[in-house]
Structure 1
Amino acid sequence: MTIGRDARLDRLRTDDRYLIVPMDHGITLGAVRGLADIESTVDAVTRGGADAVLTQKGLAPRVHPNRNGAGYVVHCNASTVLGPDSNDKRRTCSVEEAVRAGADAVSFHLNVGSNHEPDQLTQLAELTGDADRLGIPVLAMAYARGPDLEGDEPDALGHAVRLAEEVGADVVKTGYSGDPESFESVIDDTALPVVIAGGSRGDDRETLEMVRGAMDAGAAGVSMGRSIFQHDDPGAITRAVSAVVHKNVEIDTSLEKVEVNH
């Protein structure tokens, strides 16, 4: 642990809670809605209360002028939906490249239980070692995905978040198990701050119910992409999610922050 690492972590959170909006999906899906004009989306979500945004390194010049002082995370592996296996994430960036791109942290995706787990585990361990030498925090996106796994099972998610801690990550992102009671066991399997993924986009109430449930279970926040950047009003849904994460408000109250804009 270094002063530099702690200082950079503070740029990604507010009062130890995280609202990160990942927008690295362009490499996976192409320039989909919300990402073609990524400048406007970054501006909207950071004005709406996002603590940090996340992209691949090449988009840094489009992010920095529009992030309104929010933190910036550079993602370091990827795959595409057009390739033979979307779970086969390959390295796209080094820690040094991320630092040159102005990153406050780096992130890495690991599919625990997949055929690619051994290579991704090795790569994540190497990344955390490089990041530690430079005082750069690491967000591990540790998912339970593989041929023998069905859905977001609490035991598998718990294994994934513990793995992230064991190899030196600072924050871990994983799927939501579906209810606060089962997700508490996932939180208990690691000492790291746990943030949940947004998954495929649902309606506003479903999104906020998931966030509320995760926070009630003890999560440290969310790292939510498509449910925010593909929303009709990314700034409004960010304000609603932020109200739950940072102000601990209930669902109906947070929904008002979306509805007032429509």
Structure 2
Amino acid sequence: MDVYRLNRFFNPASGRVLDVAIDHGFFGERSFLDGTENITHAIDVLVDAAPDAIQLTPGQGRLLQQRPGKDKPAFVMRTDIANVYGVPLDEHLYSHHFEDAVERAVRLDAAVVVANLMQLPGRPEIREANIRSIMALKSTSERYGMPLMIEPLVMRDNSENGAYQVDGDVAKIETLVRQAVELGADLIKADFSSNAEDYHRVIEMAGDIPVLVRGGGRTSDRKLLERTRVVLEQGAKGLVYGRNIVQHRDPAGITRALMAMLHEDADVETALSMIDTGEQA
């Protein structure tokens, strides 16, 4: 792992990071694209709000990296593509990585690459495919000094709504997080546990590997900020939020609010005051 690249990723004062994920087009689910139909505009808004990093696909990374100047957010590149979020699910599920993903990331001057490690009930072949991808990516990322973020995703059975949803069982999360560490993760991106107060168990299981918390589906501002405060207090080193930012009424405001919590230890009420609620005075 190249610590030089991570110096562009983590905030030098707080040692934390906000990575805004807008790589959802990879997953073939239309509802994920709300707020990023015009992805150039979405990136414009985010760059102005100045998060630490923006997560994009190889095909869209140029929209961030072609911008002049040295102060733009760091680029995090998604390396794998899957179809596990569709409603209804396709009969055949898959997950594949780009064979030249790390080389693409180097050419695009990425700071980090990211790949899934999914546990889908009844579909162990997807987890196997992810493990094979991670082993291949790790070998190449070591060669090029590219930090590898692994995203352990524990899912519930798809019978609940026709697609796999997050399982917040902390024991399952920490088990998959540990496997990600054993596979050589330089960073971990993991879901909230059902009880955010249990998140210290995930942090402990990751050892000295920084844990960033995945935002998941849309929720209320207060709930998002309250559980963010809890996981930060338990040792999370950052956030990887997507739909809760880009599908927000005020993407710039929620970005600034989260940055204040991460880097200035702002409390929930202070962070809420930074967001435009759309209410008339």
TM normalised by structure 1 equals 0.90
1:79 corresponds in structure 2 to 82
2:249 touches 2:277 (CA, 8 Å); kept in 1? no
Moved more, 103-112 or 168-177: 103-112
Structure 2: distance between partners of 1:87 and 1:172: 24
- The AA in structure 2 aligned to 1:187 is I
Deviation string, structure 1 residues 65-103 (Cα, Å, up to 9, x no partner): 459521001101112427626973221352112222332
2:264 corresponds in structure 1 to 247
Structure 1 vs Structure 2 CA RMSD: 2.4
Q: From 91, 101, 110, give the equivalent of 1:103.
A: 110
Moved more, 154-163 or 24-33: 24-33
Percent of aligned positions that are identical: 27
CA positional deviation for 1:260 = 7.7
CA positional deviation for 1:181 = 2.5
Structure 2: distance between partners of 1:147 and 1:195: 25
Moved more, 77-86 or 36-45: 77-86
Structure 2: distance between partners of 1:51 and 1:33: 22
Moved more, 235-244 or 98-107: 98-107
Is 1:181–2:193 an aligned residue pair?
no
CA positional deviation for 1:235 = 0.8
Structure 2: distance between partners of 1:188 and 1:73: 25
1:60 touches 1:102 (CA, 8 Å); kept in 2? no
Moved more, 30-39 or 225-234: 30-39
2:112 touches 2:147 (CA, 8 Å); kept in 1? yes
2:19 touches 2:55 (CA, 8 Å); kept in 1? yes
Flag the structure with larger Rg: 2
Give the match's secondary structure for 2:258.
Answer: helix
CA positional deviation for 1:202 = 0.8
Call closer, same or farther: CA 1:18–1:256 in 2, change over 3 Å: same
2:19 touches 2:51 (CA, 8 Å); kept in 1? yes
Is 1:215–2:232 an aligned residue pair?
yes
- The AA in structure 2 aligned to 1:230 is Q
Unpaired runs of 5+ residues, structure 1, are none
Aligned residue pairs: how many? 259
CA positional deviation for 1:186 = 1.0
Q: How does 1:1-262 map to 2 (within 5 A)?
A: 1=1, 5-15=2-12, 16-28=15-27, 29-30=29-30, 32-66=33-67, 68-80=71-83, 81=86, 84=90, 88-92=94-98, 94-112=101-119, 114-115=123-124, 116-145=126-155, 147=157, 151-191=167-207, 192-259=209-276
1:179 touches 1:213 (CA, 8 Å); kept in 2? no
TM normalised by structure 2 equals 0.84
1:8 touches 1:137 (CA, 8 Å); kept in 2? yes
Give the match's secondary structure for 1:119.
Answer: helix
1:20 touches 1:51 (CA, 8 Å); kept in 2? yes
Structure 2: distance between partners of 1:258 and 1:18: 19
- The AA in structure 2 aligned to 1:74 is M
Structure 2: distance between partners of 1:237 and 1:110: 28
Unpaired runs of 5+ residues, structure 2, are 159-164
2:250 touches 2:276 (CA, 8 Å); kept in 1? no
CA positional deviation for 1:117 = 0.9
Structure 2: distance between partners of 1:230 and 1:147: 26
- The AA in structure 2 aligned to 1:209 is E
Structure 2: distance between partners of 1:96 and 1:165: 23
Call closer, same or farther: CA 1:245–1:60 in 2, change over 3 Å: same
2:161 corresponds in structure 1 to none
Structure 1: distance between partners of 2:92 and 2:204: 30
Structure 2: distance between partners of 1:152 and 1:66: 38
- The AA in structure 1 aligned to 2:24 is H
Structure 1 runs (4+) greater than 3 angstroms displaced: 65-68, 85-88, 146-150, 259-262
Deviation string, structure 1 residues 201-238 (Cα, Å, up to 9, x no partner): 11111111121111111111100000001111111110
Structure 2: distance between partners of 1:242 and 1:129: 33
